[in-house]
Chains A and B, each alone.
Chain A
Amino acid sequence: MDILGIFLSSASFILAPTTIAYALATLGLALHFGYGGLLNMGMAGFMALGAYGYAIGILTFGLPWYLAAFVGIIASIVFALILGIPTLRLRGDYLAIVTIAAAEIVRLMLLSSAFGTVTGSADGLSGFNGPGGTVTNPTVGAGGFNESNPIPEGVYGFPPFLDDQRTWYLRIVGIIILALAIFVVWRLVNSPWGRVVKGIREDEDAVRSLGKNVFAYKLQVLIIGGVLGALGGLMLAFSTNVNSSVYVTSLTFFLWTALLLGGAATVFGPLAGSIIFWVLQAFLGLLFPALASVGLMPFTTIQAAQIKFIIVGFALVLLVVFRPQGLYGNKKELTFVK
């Protein structure tokens, strides 16, 4: 059993492109839930729209990759409007059910063979980052995200960050997007706008009595958080193929776990929570099968690989019961959760 290897592979998740992607989506959830008090259980749908919007923008509409990225973002804004305009008047748990259902509708539509020519149905889409393109259309994806990489070919860094130019490029782009997103959210929540939003979270009627348009603020929160989710999906699409099997309800629940781990009403909590969550996921996902394969655990390696998900579920229960404010949160900021 290669303990050092397990530690190194897990540590590589600290700033892996996927971790950055999840951190972006979790930051969106923090804005939705932690600051706006909106129970969005459909973040996976926003991420799916970001990723698929980008991929479809390139493959179907033949846009350059940087414009296609905006297709994903615009798709998530439209989704937020469609979802928000009718539902933001509903009570919290109703909003949760509507958003979870809406995200499932998005996923089922992307999975359906009815739109297979555009969405790739069960196979998902690939080849949009170029070079290479697809079998049927080899020019598609040329000049894509991969070719915008200014880093010369080669392997750089030191373990656990010993990666090729592509991963480094993804990492750098991801960190820049994430840093900008964190900065924007930090400025927003500490602005007059942010104080109104937090006021709505605490007592909607009180804010309404001050003459504020509560609905408009909530819709803005939903859109900005949704765009962050779409950026997360975009990050995932930059790094790999898109497939609807990724954007399942469980993904939303994992984001929630990461959010509550870090602290819902914080700016850096989502980042910390995401890093801890996905490093731990990777670590446990490697450790248990390794233990099982050398006979230290009385399970098959397939069973051992499931244990991490069981732990995630029960950890979420324990977190909510015993430390609802998360690692960094302030318990007073969560009195709105009734």
Chain B
Amino acid sequence: MRANSSVKSRVSRFASALGAFLLAFGVLAFGTPAHADIVNPEMPFKISGNVQNKGVGIPGVSISMTGPAGFTATVLTDAEGKYTVGIPEKLTDYTVTVDELTLPDGVTVIDNPATEFVEANVQTVTVGPGGRTTMNFFIGQGERKTTSIFDQVVQRLISGINFGLMLALASVGLSLIYGTTGISNFAHAELVTFGAVATYGLVALMGADLLWLAIILALVLSAAVGWGQDAALWAPLRRRGMGLVQLMIVSIGLSLGVRYLYQFFIGGTTEQLPGSSGERFALFGSVTLSATDIASMAISVLLIVLFALWLNRSKVGKATRAISDNPGLAASSGIDVDGVVRIVWIIGSVLAGFSGILWAYFRPGIRWDMGGQILLLIFAATTLGGLGTAYGALVGSLIVGILVEASSLVIPSDLKYVGALVVLIGILLFRPQGILGRKERVG
């Protein structure tokens, strides 16, 4: 692998990245770094690297860095394309950005194939216990365009369906809770994060071999959280007859508190679940799929089918739909509204928790605010399909998922969520009841 660093084909780019990394590491460890342009040399730790086009360093490229506690730095690469930035803290994340405007004309930062999800010229670097990390950028003549448009579209579609199914698991819960209780639950994002964080904690306890057991236990814990949340907070507030706006603000406060509670426990870094860097299978052309992608989609579909059967066939499912339709009438026809709402909270929490685990593989990584990152997309999906309708949430999620992934083919990838949010606003303007909703829901 080390010897391949000059091979230029797309497939070996990861190998060359690794090779260059090891090379740079070797330079750091055994030799003096050759005149790297240095910023903040007085700080205890450092991030260094180079910007190169086919092995040739590019001078004068502006690289900026942001880190914890408002740390920012900007550095220009030296004559050999190298840079070094002193940083104040280790064991945390830094964002390293190449200013593409300072690159020579006609070239761009090439995607790092290992983390396709991340914007190419903006990379997050985790500084480990050693306090020294290398971040190299590879520049090319937009080689990405050698992938045929058809392959790109297919890849994005698959990715979008995967993302959409994951969103759907979170959205149907949110939608059901909205339908039965009227709460626009902003803390739903924290239920999503909970699934991932609980799995991470259990894996740390039991070891990576028992990943499946950890996932199942995490879902059991999610169910307990859903039950507990309703029993301790929402049911008493319902009994007090609290208004919907107040309930919404309560959920915002809960969301804030719980989100920072996660940060308190797991810190501000990104952690990985076992198996998140699994190998990718080539389907055709340059379209690839990883084992976790396949498992993720299969389990999502299975859960959604089970959920639909429950909603349509079981007694509680029918009662749930009755309450969504007309709570007063449901109560007077003998349905135990509080009991059904409790079950809805449990099911919604389990589905959200599972979507959190999938999200941890899709992003990839676990972060304290990972749920918050997709909260508005979940809202967009739910609203698009029709607030309070379970199938609407599913349809809405698939549309939002595919839209987000496919839009990065045409618009800059750091704006891909904007498309979904514009759709959210648009749908509220022109069809506030959503695709599958009924008009009278909007008061």
Q: Give residues in A with beta carbon < 8 Å to B.
A: 39, 86-87, 90-94, 96-98, 100-102, 104-105, 108-109, 111-114, 116-117, 121-123, 245, 249-250, 253, 256-257, 260, 299, 302-303, 306-307, 309-317, 319-321, 324, 337-338
Q: Cβ of B260: which chain A residues have Cβ within 8 Å of it?
A: 306, 309-310, 312-313
Within 8 A of A (CB), among B215-256: 233, 237, 242-246, 248-250, 252-256
The verdict on A316 contacting B253 (CB below 8 Å), with A113-B412, A113-B414, A116-B101 known, is yes
**Contact: A113 with B97, CB < 8 Å?**
yes
Instruction: From A102, A113, A122, A313, give the contact of B253 (CB < 8 A).
Output: A313
Q: Cβ of B361: which chain A residues have Cβ within 8 Å of it?
A: none
Within 8 A of A (CB), among B386-435: 411-412, 414-415, 417-418, 421-422, 424-425, 428-429, 432
Q: Cβ of B246: which chain A residues have Cβ within 8 Å of it?
A: 320-321, 324, 337
**Contact: A100 with B376, CB < 8 Å?**
yes
**Contact: B414 with A338, CB < 8 Å?**
no
C-alpha spacing A260/B72, complex, angstroms: 34
**Contact: A313 with B257, CB < 8 Å?**
yes
**Contact: B256 with A316, CB < 8 Å?**
yes
C-alpha spacing A108/B422, complex, angstroms: 12
Q: Cβ of B267: which chain A residues have Cβ within 8 Å of it?
A: 302-303
B66 interface hit (Cβ, 8 Å): yes
**Contact: A257 with B99, CB < 8 Å?**
no
| Interface size, B (range) | 35 or more
B270 interface hit (Cβ, 8 Å): no
Main secondary structure of the interface of A (DSSP, over half): helix
**Contact: A90 with B428, CB < 8 Å?**
yes
Report the 5 A-B pairs with minimum CB-CB distance, sorted nearest first: A313-B257, A316-B253, A313-B256, A309-B260, A317-B253
**Contact: A111 with B243, CB < 8 Å?**
no
Instruction: From A90, A101, A109, A324, give the contact of B380 (CB < 8 A).
Output: A101
Q: Cβ of A311: which chain B residues have Cβ within 8 Å of it?
A: 257
Residue on A nearest B253 in the bound complex, by CB? A316
**Contact: A101 with B424, CB < 8 Å?**
yes
Q: Cβ of A117: which chain B residues have Cβ within 8 Å of it?
A: 101
**Contact: B376 with A104, CB < 8 Å?**
yes
Q: Cβ of B101: which chain A residues have Cβ within 8 Å of it?
A: 116-117
Cβ of B87 to closest chain A Cβ, rounded Å: 15
**Contact: B248 with A317, CB < 8 Å?**
no
Cβ of B90 to closest chain A Cβ, rounded Å: 12
**Contact: B418 with A109, CB < 8 Å?**
yes
Within 8 A of A (CB), among B298-345: none
**Contact: B122 with A101, CB < 8 Å?**
no
Q: C-beta contact mask, B63-105 vs A, less than 8 Å → 1, else 0?
A: 0101000001010000000000000000000010101110000
C-alpha spacing A338/B182, complex, angstroms: 11
Q: Cβ of B257: which chain A residues have Cβ within 8 Å of it?
A: 309-314, 316-317
**Contact: A253 with B256, CB < 8 Å?**
yes
**Contact: A113 with B250, CB < 8 Å?**
no
C-alpha spacing A250/B233, complex, angstroms: 22
Q: Cβ of B288: which chain A residues have Cβ within 8 Å of it?
A: none
**Contact: B422 with A93, CB < 8 Å?**
no
Specify which of A108, A123, A320 lies most central, judged by the most chain B CB atoms within 10 Å of its CB: A320
Q: Cβ of B372: which chain A residues have Cβ within 8 Å of it?
A: 249
Residue on B nearest A123 in the bound complex, by CB? B64
Residue on B nearest A311 in the bound complex, by CB? B257
Instruction: From B243, B268, B414, give the contact of A108 (CB < 8 A).
Output: B414
Instruction: From A104, A113, A256, give the contact of B249 (CB < 8 A).
Output: A256
Cβ of A129 to closest chain B Cβ, rounded Å: 17
Q: Give residues in B with beta carbon < 8 Å to A.
A: 64, 66, 72, 74, 95, 97, 99-101, 119, 121-122, 184, 233, 237, 242-246, 248-250, 252-261, 263-264, 267-268, 372, 376, 379-380, 383, 411-412, 414-415, 417-418, 421-422, 424-425, 428-429, 432, 442-443
C-alpha spacing A249/B369, complex, angstroms: 12
Instruction: From B248, B264, B414, give the contact of A306 (CB < 8 A).
Output: B264
Cβ of A225 to closest chain B Cβ, rounded Å: 17
**Contact: A317 with B254, CB < 8 Å?**
yes
Instruction: From B245, B259, B417, give the contact of A92 (CB < 8 A).
Output: B245
**Contact: B383 with A97, CB < 8 Å?**
yes
C-alpha spacing A320/B383, complex, angstroms: 26
Q: Cβ of A253: which chain B residues have Cβ within 8 Å of it?
A: 252-253, 256
C-alpha spacing A139/B122, complex, angstroms: 30
Instruction: From A100, A108, A116, give the contact of B417 (CB < 8 A).
Output: A108
Main secondary structure of the interface of B (DSSP, over half): helix
Cβ of A95 to closest chain B Cβ, rounded Å: 9
The verdict on A94 contacting B256 (CB below 8 Å), with A112-B414, A113-B121, A306-B263 known, is no
**Contact: A338 with B244, CB < 8 Å?**
yes
Besides A102-B425, A117-B101, A314-B257, 10 other A-B contacts (C-beta < 8 A)? A39-B248, A91-B442, A100-B376, A101-B376, A101-B380, A123-B72, A245-B66, A309-B259, A317-B250, A324-B246
Q: Cβ of A108: which chain B residues have Cβ within 8 Å of it?
A: 414-415, 417-418, 421
The verdict on A313 contacting B255 (CB below 8 Å), with A87-B428, A256-B249 known, is yes
Instruction: From B250, B379, B411, give the contact of A97 (CB < 8 A).
Output: B379
C-alpha spacing A313/B379, complex, angstroms: 21
Cβ of A31 to closest chain B Cβ, rounded Å: 17
Q: Cβ of A307: which chain B residues have Cβ within 8 Å of it?
A: 264
C-alpha spacing A90/B428, complex, angstroms: 8
**Contact: B443 with A91, CB < 8 Å?**
yes
C-alpha spacing A314/B242, complex, angstroms: 17
Q: Cβ of B122: which chain A residues have Cβ within 8 Å of it?
A: 113, 122
**Contact: B253 with A320, CB < 8 Å?**
yes
The verdict on A112 contacting B412 (CB below 8 Å), with A307-B264, A338-B244 known, is yes
The verdict on A86 contacting B429 (CB below 8 Å), with A97-B379, A101-B380 known, is yes
Instruction: From A113, A122, A306, give the contact of B100 (CB < 8 A).
Output: A113
Q: Cβ of A101: which chain B residues have Cβ within 8 Å of it?
A: 376, 379-380, 421, 424-425
**Contact: A90 with B256, CB < 8 Å?**
no
Instruction: From B245, B380, B417, B418, give the contact of A93 (CB < 8 A).
Output: B245
Instruction: From B252, B415, B442, give the contact of A316 (CB < 8 A).
Output: B252
Cβ of A88 to closest chain B Cβ, rounded Å: 11
Residue on A nearest B256 in the bound complex, by CB? A313
C-alpha spacing A87/B428, complex, angstroms: 8
**Contact: A122 with B264, CB < 8 Å?**
no
Q: Cβ of A123: which chain B residues have Cβ within 8 Å of it?
A: 64, 66, 72, 74, 97
The verdict on A96 contacting B428 (CB below 8 Å), with A309-B260, A338-B243 known, is no
Q: Cβ of A87: which chain B residues have Cβ within 8 Å of it?
A: 425, 428-429
Q: Cβ of B242: which chain A residues have Cβ within 8 Å of it?
A: 321
C-alpha spacing A338/B119, complex, angstroms: 43
**Contact: B259 with A97, CB < 8 Å?**
no
**Contact: A90 with B442, CB < 8 Å?**
yes
**Contact: B264 with A310, CB < 8 Å?**
yes
Cβ of B215 to closest chain A Cβ, rounded Å: 27
